[in-house]
Structure 1
């Protein structure tokens, strides 16, 4: 392109140049305007064959020798069919795209306000940092493909199937988030249906479902009798949970403002229900008797019905599990399994319809 012989400029000559465009040869030009001085390189677009010009930096920063070397590199790129301006634009765009770890943190931070369980955000961060980040954490989200997802999942798919599937779902949601923000194009490589389902075996086929340990309903009376031997808050909470067939978190974080002793109704607000809908629980006489026992703690602690005596906060799930294991004389049963015990009793010992139970 350039008809100017190479090496037209030198440091001394540059110092005396006036405003204008000055060629060094080899398609390298120095533009001077007042105090501003910057280098440009001209070349032909390898596809359209139109002349283009790319700025390569200030003459105050880029020396003449360095500018000449950059010009050589640009001419080589054009000769190899690469448009330097398009390459520069692509590099700039990629620099603005976050990597997976950065985007995951942003997604968790933005979404956690809408998650019911306060443990969700720490669980997401823990699982991703242990399993996904070592492999794809530093990759920009636009470059993550199916092979990357498989590199994360395959090592644990058959040995920690439930964890692997949960991590897959979390990655899928984060990459969908990236697509919505125009940081990705195309299909989601972490999608199960119609994609990974064609590669990996179904989770249900490689891992047996672990049901919560349930006490046989014929034996629950003995367990309750053992719980009644203790006046500890955790023992009272487990009894109340059995009587109301409630979930652990619903009982542990129950507050006095939800209880109406006069109407014998416990109203659990929607934000504390798994279904997201307000739930009214009719209180039996034994349940009310338990509430009257724990009323003594109401003055010394804030509004939790079953507070931890040490902290004044709601009881932990471990506290309930520990007292149940002691009462049942086995660790093979779980707090959540008490709901199954209730369900079996309804189905086998009563005539109530399934929808009612």
Structure 2
């Protein structure tokens, strides 16, 4: 039988050993690479298989020969007891990684995940008001309760602490807050920051605790009858406020309030009298060309010297608020909304003109027809809409005594 090696190496041979594997006995080996790097390895047999486990660097600044032998002896005892030291080390390393990950996740708060979610998604939200509402509702209702809590620890009790005080008195707000919490927690789970069911989920969870919310009864926007719009326009033009010019422009273009207030000069072609609203600012997410009547162009020429980015701005250059026009109507003691003028335009077009239904609907940027019809209609009926908007501007500038300046063709045909 070959002689068993025992304590073959010395500190001097460890220092001077050439590249290769050098046995010391009992499974301890010194590995020397071509670069001169040295390390200790313990080779053992377990269940008929030979395995190597590294003990660390050898030589100056590394593990000494005596310490390497001590480490080998400790591992030999484990092997004799049936323990695989390599698998044991791997388990310990895995536990360390898991503990480190848990510690890192414990430092990730709900606020951090929410702000990251908003930052990643707000560019796709077309409505500025929607962006602001996300931040405002979280800051007002959510962050005071669980903004600084680890997102992994958010539970149903935290969600209910937020929702219960406002569920009956502010049902619309409460519902939106719940939905936003649910979205943030879903994002946290997708990133691996939490596990388990979403404690803000409505179906099968919050719905079993809180009653269905009271839904708002939404009626139509109060509209001014088209027959009195000309007289109103006369009154409106006596007012010098920027809100008055913006409101008149809204009426003449039949556009939505946010489309007008968000409009910039880059969207305007004064030479062609066309306003092109990009898809990103349209409710239907499609570009919309609006023909401008002479009076609409005149309004733009009036505000252009102000040099602001938006068509209509405050005295300080900021974007005009939608409330400015609403408050103007209130000061004029009128029981109608800005949006309601779109209804007035549509009623006038239907009752006082002979323009086709789709022309009138396209003037309001409504989606016309079913999918099949939309697939075949490539144009936007722009020339017809230009004549329609010119007639509308003429009507708005009339004395309104006759109810319209355009012959009611439908009545003639009837």
Q: Looking at CA atoms only, which structure, 1 or 2, has the larger radius of gyration?
A: 2
Q: CA deviation at 1:291?
A: 2.2
1:236/1:299 CA distance change after superposition, 3 Å: closer
The residue aligned with 1:167 is: 177
Against the structure 1 CA distance between its residues 155 and 84, is the aligned structure 2 distance closer, same or farther, given a 3 Å change threshold? farther
8 Å Cα contact 1:228/1:235 also seen in 2: yes
Deviation at residue 86 of structure 1 after TM alignment: 8.9
How far did residue 234 of structure 1 move? 1.9
Give the corresponding residue for 1:289: 295
CA contact (8 A) 1:100 1:137 kept: yes
SS in 1 for 2:149: coil
Matches within 5 A, 1:13-32: none
1:163 offset after TM fit, Å? 0.8
Shift of 1:188: 2.5
Aligned to 1:271: 280
Partner of 1:324: 329
The aligned counterpart of 1:129 is 139
Number of the residue aligned with 1:104: 114
Query: Which residue, 100, 103, 110 being the options, matches 1:95?
Result: 103
1:212, 1:334 within 8 Å by CA — same for their partners in 2? no
> Which of the residues 205, 229, 233 maps onto 2:238?
229
Identify which of 292, 299, 306 aligns with 2:305. 299
What's 1:185 paired with?
A: 195
Q: What SS does the corresponding residue of 2:163 show, helix, strand or coil? A: helix
Distance in 2 between residues matched to 1:350 and 1:195, nearest whole Å: 54
C-alpha separation in 2, matches of 1:211 and 1:150: 31
Aligned to 2:320: 315
How far residue 129 of structure 1 moved from its aligned partner, in angstroms, is 2.0
State the shift of 1:181 in Å: 0.7
Kindly indicate whether the alpha-carbon contact (under 8 Å) linking 1:136 and 1:148 is maintained by their aligned counterparts in 2: yes
The answer (yes or no) to whether the contact 2:276–2:289 under 8 Å persists in 1 is yes
Quote the residue 2:222 is aligned against: 214
244-253 or 293-302: bigger deviation: 293-302
Per-residue deviation at 1:215?
Answer: 2.7
Q: Which runs of 5+ in 2 are unaligned?
A: 1-57, 64-82, 362-414
> Does the 8 Å contact 2:252/2:296 carry over to 1?
no
Question: Runs of 5+ in structure 1 lacking a partner?
Answer: 1-32, 38-48, 55-82
- Paired residue secondary structure (2:275): strand
Q: Counterpart of 2:161 in 1: which secondary structure?
A: helix
CA deviation profile, 1:81-122 (whole Å, cap 9, x unmatched): xx9999876653332121211211222222233333345444
Q: How far did residue 36 of structure 1 move?
A: 9.8
Distance 2:139 2:240 in 1: 42
Match in the other structure for 1:335: 338
- State how far apart, in whole Å, the 2-side matches of 1:348 and 1:142 are: 61
Deviations 1:188-212 (A, max 9, x none): 3323345434443333xx1433547
**Equivalents in 1 of 2:174, 2:199: separation in Å?**
15
Q: Supply the distance in 2 between the matched residues of 1:272 and 1:170 (Cα, whole angstroms).
A: 23
Q: 1:143 to 1:307 in 2, by over 3 A?
A: closer
Q: Distance in 2 between matches of 1:201 and 1:342?
A: 41
Distance 2:345 2:336 in 1: 14
Choose 298-307 or 241-250, whichever is displaced more.
Answer: 298-307
Please, what is the CA RMSD of the aligned residues?
A: 4.0
TM-score (norm 2): 0.57
Once the two structures are TM-superposed, the CA of residue 292 in structure 1 deviates from its matched residue by 1.4
Report the equivalent of 1:116: 126
The equivalent of 2:156 in structure 1 is: 146
Q: How many residues align?
A: 287
Between 1:127-136 and 1:210-219, the stretch displaced more is: 210-219
> Cα–Cα, structure 1 residues 91 and 135, in superposed 2: closer, same or farther, change >3 Å?
farther
DSSP-derived class of the 1:311 partner: coil
Does structure 1 retain, via aligned residues, the 8 Å contact 2:224–2:336?
no
